[in-house]
Chain A
Amino acid sequence: MTIDSAKFSGLLQPHYNDALKYSRALCATWSPDDAEDVLQQSFLLALENFGSLRDHSKFRSWFFKIITTTFYSSIRKHFWKKFLPTDAERSGVHSMPEIFDRSVQSENRIVLDKALSGISAKERSALLLFELGNFSIEEITAIQGEKSISAVKSRLSRARAKLRKIIEKEENSLSRMGESSWELNGDLENETLKLITEIRPER
């Protein structure tokens, strides 16, 4: 059976932007290449299984679920990735075009990424599905494959608390750096960004 790519793209377009934002934020401190690998694998899985999606009105939650499970498995795959061909090579397809920004990120984004990477994958996914995907708790429960709504509720609340704590800590450390005797010449914003780039942890 051939894949109806036109129909797939048509259903994808309204949710494309949210899906990409969700995907990028899930892989918070990962490199753009690694984040694109997750997205590419999600697209491939979605294309392969598109025929099994009967109710097209559920495309959005179906596609977000694929991104979520691909992300979970890519965390586990990290070790195997060294020995195996990439998914694209294995499927005999061309690599996806570059999408994610490779330029220096803003200070706020760096702090948020660091905070997101400080919480567990499931907590991160629940929070981002809620904030970026605008999914209800029930929908998140289904996407994450959980049985209990209350488990997702408490996961969300835990994630928020942890995220706040980390952001606060990160911002404090940044302001302390600002108070130190380092000399910043010229444009303050540019110099700060340069400094952040230098101290930003490599993934």
Chain B
Amino acid sequence: MKHSNSSQRSDQNGKLNKDNNRTLEHHFNQLKQENYDSTFPDIESWIYKTSVNLHTNKKLAQTNERTLHKMKNFFFGSKLRLVYTIVAFAVIIGACNMPVTQTESAGKMITLVIAKDNGDFQSKMNELPWIKNAQVTANENTNNGEVQMLYRVILPNATKDEVIAYANELEKLGNVITIRITPMDYDIKRPLYSAALHDFFSIDVDATGKNDEELKNEIESKLREQGVDMKFRFTTGPDGRREIRLDNEGQIDVNKEPKSFEMNIEDNNGKEHIRFKTQKADPKQFEGKSDPEIREMVRKDLGKNDLKDSDIIIERNGKDVKVKVDLEEKEVK
């Protein structure tokens, strides 16, 4: 009985399948009856025109298509690569925001101890010209029964050489028991991208409609805000083009300036673009190098292989090497 039921079911299934197959066949037959032959002449003539056009535009089309395709396929070609790309972006953003520790200098401090009965030490010290820029504190101290004066002279903007010279001047005033120079360094944490930008700044100035004096004042004031003390001279030629010259060039050591900077001046309604750039260099990088080697380093560093030897001025003073690059670049649009 069971067998007969199952055989009946199988017959029914077979009949159903046949019906279903017939349905599919019926639909596909209708599809097969469609006829597009009448459109062939139109397509043939389109193919002819297209083949001529394709031949002309093939290279251009291929370049565009391949570039776009490569980019698209690279980023979206596979799900795995898309994930890698997102992870890579996340890592880059993460890395840029990763805090790094930098040591910054708040200045230098001269600590000196003198006997309390030091005559006119304090009045002599007050006469020193640089003392106006320093913060001075004085404390009385007793050491082995002897009353002493402890002076702390804080110099926020002085360089190491200047501080040594000031310490020598103080020592010469007399009665100094001990004198010590202490750098006042502190550690600061900042994101990596901020650290990269910290030692460099850029100022943009629109010089259109400003006379030479106004331009000079604006630029010098902007640089002073960033701790850079440079004096410039602007002159406008008969053709209306402006020249920029560093006025206190001989007194300035770019390496002593706190930051490297770039100055972009748009002039004459954007027709002229003056760019002035300073770049700090590691003073030790020129040690033991010959003049041709230094010139090669400068060309490579600036990416200007066409710089003439006369444009790179090298001044030697014992072990000290001073390199000045006379590079005049004007972009006239």
Binding site for B on A (CB under 8 A): 2-3, 5-6, 8-9, 12-13, 16-17, 20-21, 24-25, 43-44, 47-48, 80, 84, 90-94, 96-97, 99, 106, 108-109, 111-112, 115, 131-132, 160, 163-164, 167-168, 171
| Inter-subunit contact B36/A16 (CB<8 Å) | yes
> At the interface with chain A, which of B20-28, B129-137, B243-251?
B20-28
| Inter-subunit contact B24/A163 (CB<8 Å) | yes
**In whole angstroms, how far apart are the Cα atoms of A48 and B54 in the complex?**
8
Chain A residues in 8 Å Cβ range of B58:
48
B43 CB within 8 Å of chain A:
yes
Known: A5-B51, A91-B61, A108-B30. A97 touches B24 (CB 8 A): no
Number of residue pairs spanning A and B whose beta carbons lie under 8 angstroms apart: 107
**In whole angstroms, how far apart are the Cα atoms of A164 and B26 in the complex?**
12
**In whole angstroms, how far apart are the Cα atoms of A43 and B2 in the complex?**
60
The contact sample of 20 A-B pairs, CB cut-off 8 A, is: A5-B48, A8-B51, A9-B47, A16-B37, A20-B39, A21-B32, A44-B54, A84-B68, A90-B61, A91-B53, A94-B46, A94-B50, A96-B46, A99-B36, A99-B42, A108-B30, A132-B28, A132-B32, A164-B20, A164-B23
**In whole angstroms, how far apart are the Cα atoms of A106 and B68 in the complex?**
41
- Known contacts A5-B51, A47-B51, then 9 further A-B pairs from the complex at CB < 8 Å, ordered by chain A residue: A3-B51, A90-B65, A93-B53, A97-B39, A99-B39, A108-B26, A109-B31, A112-B28, A164-B20
Q: Can you name the residue of chain B whose Cβ is closest to the Cβ of A2?
A: B55
Closest CB in chain A relative to B89 CB, distance in Å: 20
Closest CB in chain A relative to B73 CB, distance in Å: 10
Closest CB in chain B relative to A19 CB, distance in Å: 9
B139 CB within 8 Å of chain A:
no
| Inter-subunit contact B54/A13 (CB<8 Å) | no
Interface centre among A3, A109, A160 (most CB of B within 10 A): A3
Q: Which 7 A-B pairs have CB atoms at the shortest separation, nearest pair first?
A: A5-B51, A92-B57, A3-B51, A20-B36, A91-B61, A112-B27, A97-B42
Chain B residues in 8 Å Cβ range of A16:
36-37, 40, 43
Known: A9-B44, A99-B43. A93 touches B57 (CB 8 A): yes
Main secondary structure of the interface of B (DSSP, over half): helix
| Inter-subunit contact A111/B27 (CB<8 Å) | yes
Q: Can you name the residue of chain B whose Cβ is closest to the Cβ of A163?
A: B24
| Inter-subunit contact A96/B43 (CB<8 Å) | yes
**In whole angstroms, how far apart are the Cα atoms of A106 and B30 in the complex?**
10
Known: A3-B51, A5-B47, A93-B54. A132 touches B31 (CB 8 A): yes
Chain A residues in 8 Å Cβ range of B46:
94, 96-97
Closest CB in chain B relative to A48 CB, distance in Å: 6
| Inter-subunit contact B56/A92 (CB<8 Å) | yes
**In whole angstroms, how far apart are the Cα atoms of A121 and B199 in the complex?**
58
Q: Which one of A21, A84, A91, A171 contacts B54 once the chains associate, using CB atoms below 8 Å? A: A91
Chain B residues in 8 Å Cβ range of A6:
48
Q: Can you name the residue of chain B whose Cβ is closest to the Cβ of A97?
A: B42
**In whole angstroms, how far apart are the Cα atoms of A111 and B34 in the complex?**
16
| Inter-subunit contact B43/A97 (CB<8 Å) | yes
B284 CB within 8 Å of chain A:
no
Chain A residues in 8 Å Cβ range of B50:
5, 43-44, 47, 93-94
Q: Can you name the residue of chain B whose Cβ is closest to the Cβ of A46?
A: B47
**In whole angstroms, how far apart are the Cα atoms of A112 and B24 in the complex?**
9
Closest CB in chain B relative to A114 CB, distance in Å: 11
B79 CB within 8 Å of chain A:
no
Chain B residues in 8 Å Cβ range of A44:
50, 54
| Inter-subunit contact B20/A168 (CB<8 Å) | yes
